[in-house]
Amino acid sequence: MDFFSDYTLRIVALGAAALGMTSGALGSYAVLRKQSLLGDAISHAALPGIALAFLLTGSKAPLVLVLGAAVAGWVGTLVVMKIVNATRVKEDSALGIVLAVFFGAGLVLLTVIQKRPDASQAGLDRFLFGQAATLLWRDVVMIATLGGLALGVAALFWKEFKLLAFDPDYGASLGLPMRGLDVLLTSVLVVSIVIGLQTVGVVLMSAMVVAPASAARQWTDRMGTMVLLAGGIGALAGVSGAVISSMSQHVPTGPTIVLCLTVLVLFSMALAPNRGLVWAAVRQARNRRTLHMHAVLADLNELAVQHGGAHHGHATAVLEAAHPGARHELEELEQRGWATRAGDDWSITAAGQAEALRGGPGTRGRGDDEEDAR
Amino acid sequence: MNDQAPAIEVNDLTVAYRDKPVLWDIDVQVPRGVLMAIVGPNGAGKSTLIKAMLGLVRAAAGQVLVHGRPYAEQRKLVAYVPQRGSVDWDFPTSVLDVVMMGCYGSLGWLRRPGKKERDAAMAALGQVGMQDFAERQISQLSGGQQQRVFLARALVQNAGLYLMDEPFQGVDAKTERAIVTVLQQLRAAGKTVVVVHHDLETVPEYFDWVLLLNVRRIGMGPVDEVFTEENLRLTYGGRVPFLQRRNGHLEGTKPVDDVRRPDASMAAD
């Protein structure tokens, strides 16, 4: 199996890389603006657009279908905004309604198309779960062109979009047209979603929007790095999933890509420095051990004081009585030079007494004079 | 330009959410160079008034003039300090980056902030005592530090009129001192500052003008003329913990069984 000489695989990999990069990078904005569900609504809402575009034109040209998808995705977004503004229905409910109604309409239209006598040529159902193996060169060109345009817009309006994501009211007070920027950013997001539908499918496309950004956020505290990283993660997941699925006609691409993404997300959540769960657990365990160790040290000190001198030894069992497992803490104390042992008898050193007087962790290290905790 | 015109003038402003008026026929004229507190109970429309001045909420009626001309033409003269709770402080960005947002308006399209903007942001951070935090991720800030970052961002705009929404809300003593110092520097530089304020006790100390608001305008003018017990009772509908305590001090012997003992936090809520 030679990936890079196989023509189909090369096309699939290029297309998946382009769409993964676009939706991953632009999905960062959706995640940062807490609009993760918007991507889901847009991609589901696009389905009737694809079906209608085919019914009206009889064409399956990628640009025609993508245009239909984009228009329907946009209409879906407008309906969500309209519902939120005009009724008491909240945004999450509005997104759910639009998603279900548009997707349902799309399924009905797909069934109609398949019942038509000339249905054999339709094959539009691949838009449900995606089929990377059906990608052609012209599809890849379209994906790369539209994706490049979308990314270009995001780069041009970098600082405005950042302000829109962080503090739109403040942006408006600066005189920036925040509503227009919102429309522009949403349009760019619609583009990044519809170019992935043929490969990933409407059902799981939202994962390409949300997951790369969520994974990237784990690794960095800078928005620029996050957007680039999300693009890279999206491209990596897209390529690996599309290539794996295109080796068999029977494996839909969307689910395969999502599985690859899941691996990357889990890896990031577990192992990213600072935010990773594994490191958090390690830090917590280390803190707990330090606390235990200082508790044992305090008791050693108390014993020494009671007996009028540091050189009065005590058996491990005495300390184990108050601190089950104190043996490990005692060894740690010995390593730090805060306790010494003679046989099974432990006693505190001068350095240990100084440390015990200073108090344990938590009573030190608060140099900041800020009264209010976060 | 009209140099005699008020810093900000609001005429007949009415704001309603659904059919309930939040602000009713408000007239405000703030002279230039004053520090003005907007005071009133919760739900009085204090934040809404500031947002309506800035065009962030839709007014049903009314007109806002800044230095004698419509606000839409004068945006560059006005800097806004939102409530710090209005943004997500876990956003992936640094303190310096947030403060530099203050120059996005004057920078223009397609241009990125450069050295000039960096220097301005660092100077503003120095003014609020936060220069050592420039590279910090904003999620590592305390509430008071967040507030000072927002203040620095507005200082970067070098505006003539500052509108601040609850800058003293839940901040530590150091931040409160830093903000008061900045307010006094702004007044000394001839700028006008309008602050939504909760702590009645500090009004006479920090401010020279006051607007008493409870959906309608109850009173407005110099603090020593307008900030009276009578007006505060009108504003708060008779239940003013601050006044109860002050009366207790004045009369000295008033037993506490007829009034709820005012608690230490002077907030009117």
Structure tokens at B174: 């150091």
The pLDDT value recorded for residue B3 is: 66
On average, the pLDDT of chain A sits at 86
pLDDT tens figures, A123-174: 788 888 888 888 889 899 999 999 999 999 999 999 999 999 999 999 999 9
Percent of chain B with pLDDT over 70: 87
pLDDT tens figures, A15-36: 999 999 999 999 999 999 998 8
A367 pLDDT higher than 60: no
Collect all residues of chain B within an 8 Å Cβ-Cβ radius of residue A170.
80, 82, 101, 153
Cα separation of A270 and A281, whole Å?
10
Strand order of the β-sheet with A314-315 is: A314-315, A345-348, A339-342
Collect all residues of chain B within an 8 Å Cβ-Cβ radius of residue A176.
104-105
Q: How confident is the model at residue A273 (pLDDT cuts 50, 70, 90)?
A: confident
B254 pLDDT higher than 80: no
Choose among B75, B86, B98: nearest Cβ to A169.
B86
The pLDDT value recorded for residue A274 is: 78
CA angle, corner A10, sides to A6 and A15, nearest 5? 155
The pLDDT value recorded for residue B154 is: 94
A231 pLDDT higher than 50: yes
pLDDT tens figures, B81-119: 999 989 999 999 999 999 999 999 888 888 888 888 999
The pLDDT value recorded for residue B123 is: 93
Task: For residues A284-291, give the mean pLDDT.
Answer: 85
The pLDDT value recorded for residue A336 is: 84
On average, the pLDDT of chain B sits at 84
Q: How confident is the model at residue A41 (pLDDT cuts 50, 70, 90)?
A: very high
Q: How confident is the model at residue A48 (pLDDT cuts 50, 70, 90)?
A: very high
Buried-state track A308-318, b at ≥16 Cβ within 10 A, e below 16:
eebeebbeeee
The pLDDT value recorded for residue B246 is: 54
**CB atoms B75 and A174 under 8 Å:** yes
Collect all residues of chain A within an 8 Å Cβ-Cβ radius of residue B71.
none
**CB atoms A169 and B82 under 8 Å:** yes
More confident site: A6 or B139: B139
Q: Which residue has the tokens 């603090």?
A: B223
Task: Determine whether A288 is exposed, middle or buried from the number of CB atoms within 10 Å of its CB (0-12, 13-18, 19+).
Answer: exposed
Alpha helices in A204-273 (DSSP H): 205-219, 223-246, 253-271
Strand partners, B161: B78, B192
Cα separation of A32 and A165, whole Å?
6
Q: How confident is the model at residue A309 (pLDDT cuts 50, 70, 90)?
A: low
The pLDDT value recorded for residue A117 is: 74
Cα separation of B62 and B8, whole Å?
13
Task: For residues A288-309, give the mean pLDDT.
Answer: 81
pLDDT tens figures, A60-81: 888 899 999 999 999 999 999 8
Structure tokens at B160: 């003539």
A282 pLDDT higher than 50: yes
B139: how many CB neighbours lie within 10 A of its CB? 14
Helix or strand run (H / E) with residue B100: helix B95-100
Choose among A159, A368, A372: nearest Cβ to B104.
A159
The pLDDT value recorded for residue A59 is: 83
Strand partners, A315: A345
Compute the count of residue pairs across chains A and B with CB atoms less than 8 Å apart: 94
Check CB contact of A156 with chain B, cutoff 8 Å. yes
Task: For residues B11-15, give the mean pLDDT.
Answer: 90
The pLDDT value recorded for residue B268 is: 40
- Rounded to a whole number, what is the distance in Å from the CA of B138 to chain A's nearest CA? 9
